[in-house]
């Protein structure tokens, strides 16, 4: 930095009034970007045809192609292939495809926005305008988000639409077609009317003295030992049980239905509006994180490719490992991983990312994740957003070019 006074050179030759005119006319030194800076930056990113095609292919193309194939298969061979949509397809696509790819796509866009002025030589032109470097950096955030947020939204909307409108008409619970949205009593009544299917196919747990045991063991399911029930957990064995009456069998089916009701209640033909809204917001949050971190990293490194590789490694390799491993003395550091934080914010009803599976019931794999409170998760996400923005802006403001 200059060691002598900046004012010395002018030696009073820059009248204060004139300075005010020049400086305040368009607030060029302000860190807040103008609307036209944001719109032109949006234009610059949008006009990158290759990048835009790649982003659309990943966020919209992959789920669309997957769903179209399922629609066609179901249309031509409905008995061999299930419906294209439905609850399980929705949860699988959201947590398995849109979540991961949305992050990577957003990170790619962010890294591009953060580095491309440097690599293409426009940064000098922009700095020479006298515009604040901070404003030049900040303008990229709304411009990039204006691209990635709608892209993720479009891909997600297609998934929602297909999953709702091409959902199965009957609920398949443990391999049995069951009416949907039954109350506990309703399910018990339905079970009493379909005792063989319930006893043979529903999961249930019985003890030696359970009233279900004689009935369960007297129903010929065809694939169990001695034609007994296929699924018997902790049962005493079929050969000791007397033959049950039809009333006992219906009662056993009622009890099994009552036992399984909590699992049944989490089964839906298609995702609820609430789940779709929460899942959409969650995906957008992930995309925003990916973009902002990618932007900061791209600006910090000054090139796109390395930044994108680092982001992919973080998302696909490091986050799953650090979310599940129990490393002594480093658990607090692990909790600072943004992927773990977003996994903890997974909407109920979706399998938890990195949680070791789970299922349509939701939160099934949450136990495998390193524990973290919602407050800590929110703080970690905010810290990543703010921290990377500060890092990227700092590098841009101090970079020689």
State which of residues 76, 77, 80, 121 lies at the interface with another protein (CB under 8 A).
121
Our finding on whether 227 is near another protein (CB under 8 A) is: no
Residues 6+ apart with CB under 8 A from 195: 215, 219, 246, 249, 250, 252, 253
Q: Which is nearer to another protein, 51 or 187 (CB)?
A: 51
CA distances from 171 to 43, 86, 233 (A): 47, 10, 25
The binding track of 149-188 with respect to another protein, each residue x by CB under 8 A or -, is ----------------------------------------
Candidate list 62, 71, 97, 126; residue touching another protein; CB under 8 A: 126
Question: Does residue number 130 form part of the binding site for another protein (CB under 8 A)?
Answer: yes
7-66: which residues touch another protein (CB under 8 A)? 7-10, 13-15, 18-19, 21-23, 25-26, 28-29, 34, 36-37, 39-41, 43-44, 47-49
DSSP assignment of 167-203 equals --SSEEETTEEE-SS--HHHHHHHHHHSHHHHHHHS-
Provide, rounded to whole angstroms, the least separation between the CB of residue 283 and another protein: 29
- Identify the bridge partners of residue 178 per DSSP, sorted by sequence position: 171
Measuring CA to CA, which residue among 360, 357, 368, 130 is closest to residue 265? 360
> Using CA atoms, how far apart are residues 24 and 54, in angstroms rounded to an integer?
42
Applying CB under 8 A, which of residues 76, 79, 120, 209 lies at the interface with another protein? 120
Least distance between another protein and beta carbon 50 (Å): 9
Regarding 400 and contact with another protein (CB under 8 A), the answer is: yes
- Do residues 345 and 374 touch, judged by C-beta distance below 8 A? yes
Residue 15 or 75: the one with the smaller Cβ distance to another protein is 15
* Angle (nearest 5°) at CA 56 between 168 and 323: 75
Write out the residues near another protein by the rule CB under 8 A. 1-10, 13-15, 18-19, 21-23, 25-26, 28-29, 34, 36-37, 39-41, 43-44, 47-49, 116, 120-122, 124-132, 136, 400-401
């Amino acid at each position: 930095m200059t060691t002598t006074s900046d004012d010395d050179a002018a030696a009073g030759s820059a009248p204060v009034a004139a300075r005010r005119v020049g400086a305040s006319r368009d607030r060029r030194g302000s860190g807040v970007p103008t609307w036209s800076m944001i719109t032109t930056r949006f234009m610059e990113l949008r006009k990158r045809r290759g990048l835009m095609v790649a982003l659309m292919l990943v966020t919209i193309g992959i789920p669309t192609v997957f769903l179209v194939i399922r629609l066609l298969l179901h249309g031509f061979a409905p008995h061999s292939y299930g419906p294209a949509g439905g609850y399980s397809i929705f949860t699988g696509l959201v947590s398995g495809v849109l979540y991961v790819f949305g992050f990577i796509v957003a990170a790619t866009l962010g890294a591009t926005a953060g580095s491309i002025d440097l690599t293409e030589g426009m940064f000098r032109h922009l700095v020479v305008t006298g515009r604040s470097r901070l404003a030049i950096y900040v303008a990229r955030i709304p411009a990039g988000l204006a691209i990635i947020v709608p892209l993720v939204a479009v891909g997600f909307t297609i998934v929602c639409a297909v999953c709702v409108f091409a959902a199965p008409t009957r609920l398949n619970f443990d391999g049995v077609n069951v009416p949907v949205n039954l109350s506990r009593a309703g399910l018990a009544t339905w079970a009493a009317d379909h005792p063989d299917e319930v006893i043979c196919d529903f999961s249930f747990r019985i003890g030696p003295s359970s009233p279900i045991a004689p009935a369960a063991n007297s129903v010929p399911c065809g694939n169990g030992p001695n034609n007994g029930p296929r699924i018997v957990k902790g049962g005493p064995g079929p050969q000791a049980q007397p033959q049950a009456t039809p009333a006992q069998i219906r009662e056993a089916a009622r009890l099994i239905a009552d036992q399984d009701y909590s699992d049944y209640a989490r089964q839906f033909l298609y995702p609820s509006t609430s789940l779709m809204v929460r899942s959409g917001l969650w995906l957008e949050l992930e995309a925003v994180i990916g973009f902002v971190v990618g932007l900061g990293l791209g600006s910090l490194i000054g090139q796109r490719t390395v930044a994108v590789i680092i982001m992919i490694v973080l998302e696909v390799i490091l986050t799953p490992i650090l979310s599940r491993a129990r490393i002594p003395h480093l658990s607090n550091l692990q909790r600072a991983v943004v992927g773990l934080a977003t996994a903890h914010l997974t909407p109920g009803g979706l399998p938890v990312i990195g949680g070791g599976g789970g299922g349509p019931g939701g939160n099934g794999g949450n136990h495998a994740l390193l524990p973290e409170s919602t407050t800590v998760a929110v703080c970690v996400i905010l810290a990543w957003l703010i921290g990377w923005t500060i890092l990227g802006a700092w590098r841009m403001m101090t970079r020689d070019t």
